[in-house]
């Protein structure tokens, strides 16, 4: 049982576009007390392994300010290397976003998605995916406006949410305190067509059953649908609303 919201309800979400002035696409996404600046940069070249293949690439970087968290975390730049958690998250964000872009239509360009958490209260990686999607569409739209692309090379909406089992209760969109208590923790990224692009579930403290798995996925679908409504408003002038899933 939760105090202020139902177990299958997400926290209040806000997406402010053009939060920072320099990037081609930029948002501040707020999910409860979690705040992430997502910026999209479009570069006119691709990594060496893709050169000459006539298609583009999408990649992500993720970082936390030292005091995004309750106690100060040491900067990875000061340590001189990226930690395992950061790399795991960066790869998750990158794969998720890449799945929604038609890389051939994008052409030989790289989209960099920078997700910088300025305040953390659970769900930073899923907020990053949800916000990065909006910043990416904003940036791609600039290319359309500048006639560099004839249409948005995007294949639908993408949002992500966490779900978990806390004290034997399945809950959607865990905040920091719930996340700390959770026995099972799952991050789900999906499309407006009701399909999944990433599922990462871990029951390190408590293995989970097939039934729990199914219920978690149902909650996640509900949460992603609600997030897409907010994304849709932020993109209302440039991208049609998400498909209605039957």
Q: Is 123 labelled a binding residue?
A: yes
Q: Which stretch binds its own copies (CB under 8 A): 87-95, 122-130, 166-174, 223-231?
A: 87-95
Q: Which stretch binds its own copies (CB under 8 A): 76-84, 144-152, 161-169, 222-230?
A: 76-84
**Closest CB to its own copies among 83 and 233?**
83
Contacts (CB under 8 A) with its own copies, residues 95-154: 95, 98-99, 112, 114, 116, 118-120
List helix spans (H) across 61-123. 76-79, 84-98, 103-106
Give the angle 99-102-105 at the CA atoms, nearest 5°. 160
By residue count, the chain amounts to: 246
Q: Is 5 labelled a binding residue?
A: no
What span, in angstroms and rounded, lies between the C-alpha atoms of 191 and 156?
7
What span, in angstroms and rounded, lies between the C-alpha atoms of 191 and 155?
9
What span, in angstroms and rounded, lies between the C-alpha atoms of 184 and 145?
45
What span, in angstroms and rounded, lies between the C-alpha atoms of 147 and 61?
28
List Cβ neighbours of 83 (8 Å cut-off, separation of 6 or more). Answer: 76
Contacts (CB under 8 A) with its own copies, residues 17-36: 20-23, 26, 33, 35
Report if residue 52 touches its own copies, rule: CB under 8 A: no
Residue ranges in contact with its own copies by CB under 8 A: 20-23, 26, 33, 35, 37, 39, 41, 43, 61, 63, 65-70, 72, 75-88, 90-91, 95, 98-99, 112, 114, 116, 118-120, 186, 190-191, 193-205, 207-210, 213-214, 217
- Tell me the binding residues for phosphate: 85, 123-125
């Amino acid at each position: 049982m939760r105090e202020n919201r139902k177990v299958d309800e997400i926290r209040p979400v806000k997406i402010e576009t053009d939060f920072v002035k320099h990037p081609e696409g930029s948002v501040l996404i707020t999910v409860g007390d979690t705040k992430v600046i997502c910026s999209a940069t479009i570069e006119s070249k691709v990594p060496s392994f893709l050169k000459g293949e006539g298609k583009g690439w999408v990649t992500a970087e993720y970082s936390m300010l030292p005091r995004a968290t309750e106690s100060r975390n040491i900067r990875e730049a000061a340590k001189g290397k990226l930690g395992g958690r950061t790399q795991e998250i960066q790869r998750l964000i990158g794969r998720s976003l890449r799945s929604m872009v038609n890389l051939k239509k994008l052409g030989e360009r790289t989209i960099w998605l920078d997700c910088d958490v300025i305040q953390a209260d659970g769900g930073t990686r899923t907020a990053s995916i949800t916000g990065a999607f909006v910043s990416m569409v904003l940036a791609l739209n600039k290319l359309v406006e500048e006639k560099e692309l004839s249409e948005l090379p995007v294949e639908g909406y993408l949002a992500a949410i966490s779900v978990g089992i806390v004290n034997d209760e399945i809950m959607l969109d865990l905040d920091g305190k719930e996340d700390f208590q959770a026995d099972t923790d799952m991050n789900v990224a999906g499309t407006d067509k009701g399909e999944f692009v990433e599922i990462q579930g871990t029951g390190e403290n408590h293995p989970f059953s097939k039934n729990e798995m199914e219920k978690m996925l149902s909650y996640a679908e509900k949460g992603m649908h609600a997030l897409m409504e907010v994304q849709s408003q932020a993109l209302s002038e440039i991208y049609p609303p998400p498909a209605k899933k039957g």
